[in-house]
């Protein structure tokens, strides 16, 4: 997959309430899997947590276009995730990034 | 691609000499493309730069196992990259991470 100029790429950095990590990651996994399966414009969502700090989560997000990103924000599975996880997220920082090279098997 | 427990996943955070960004990204792109094409155990390498701060680079790296990661460090293309970019990298921080969910088209 060669990075294209119209792609929207960013990295979300979240801090989760330590008491709610298990519930949060279950909702996140469901939202990620549904988005990539159902939305043609959601190209990848890779979520990781920092080793030894499971409350610190980073998500690399790639959308095919601005229009696809905006459609994603209105999708029922994203709205469900946002609503149900709202009280679990202590902070959310969205880092806009530019792809240099993105390669995967 | 479902994340597996034997995977080695991490995020490299680099700061590049601003005068050498173009040369650095060309060498990085070559190394990433060669690694994913030639090494069965290099599953993905996604490199991005922070918007407005092209000297700040992050790379999400996924290897199939510890053995694959160690083999990658000894590969001729990685050694070439390390040697030629050594003087361009002002700082390198390796953040060990655990996959939560990794989905891509």
Residue A52 falls inside a structural domain:
yes
Residue of B nearest to A24 (CA): B100
Spatial contact of A43 and A61, defined as CB atoms under 8 Å apart: no
Angle ∠(A61,B43,A12) on CA atoms, nearest 5: 20
Domain count for chain B = 1
- CB < 8 Å to B104, chain A: 1, 36, 43-46, 104
In a domain, B38, yes or no: yes
ipTM for the assembly: 0.93
CB contact under 8 A, B60 and A57: no
B103 pLDDT more than 90: yes
Rounded average pLDDT over A49-68: 97
Q: Is residue B1 part of a domain?
A: no
Tell me what pLDDT residue B1 has.
Answer: 62
Provide the CATH number for the domain around residue A34. Answer: 3.30.70.100
Which of A22, A64, A100 is the best residue to mutate to test the B interface, defined by the most B CB atoms within 10 Å of its own CB? A100
User: From A58, which residue of chain B is nearest by alpha-carbon distance?
Assistant: B97
Domain enclosing residue A26, as ranges: 8-97
Distance, CA of B50 to CA of A96 (rounded, Å): 6
Q: How confident is the model at residue B5 (pLDDT cuts 50, 70, 90)?
A: confident
Across the interface, whether the CB atoms of B49 and A102 are under 8 A apart is answered no
Q: For residues A7 and A60, is the Cβ–Cβ distance under 8 A? A: no
Question: Is residue B89 assigned to a domain?
Answer: yes
Q: Is the pLDDT of residue B30 over 90?
A: yes
Phi, psi of A9, rounded to the nearest 5 degrees: -125, 135
d(CA B12, CA B63): 13
Query: Is the pTM here over 0.90, yes or no?
Result: yes
In a domain, A38, yes or no: yes
Is residue A19 pLDDT above 70, yes or no? yes
């Amino acid at each position: 997959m060669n990075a294209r100029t119209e792609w929207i790429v960013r990295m979300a950095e979240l801090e989760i309430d330590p008491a709610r990590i298990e519930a949060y990651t279950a909702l996140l996994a469901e939202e990620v899997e549904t988005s990539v399966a159902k939305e043609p414009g959601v190209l990848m969502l890779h979520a990781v947590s920092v080793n030894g700090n499971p409350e610190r989560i980073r998500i690399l997000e790639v959308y095919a276009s601005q229009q696809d990103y905006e459609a994603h924000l209105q999708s029922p599975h994203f709205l469900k995730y946002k609503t149900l996880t709202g009280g679990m997220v202590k902070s959310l920082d969205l880092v806009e990034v530019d792809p240099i090279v993105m390669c995967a098997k």
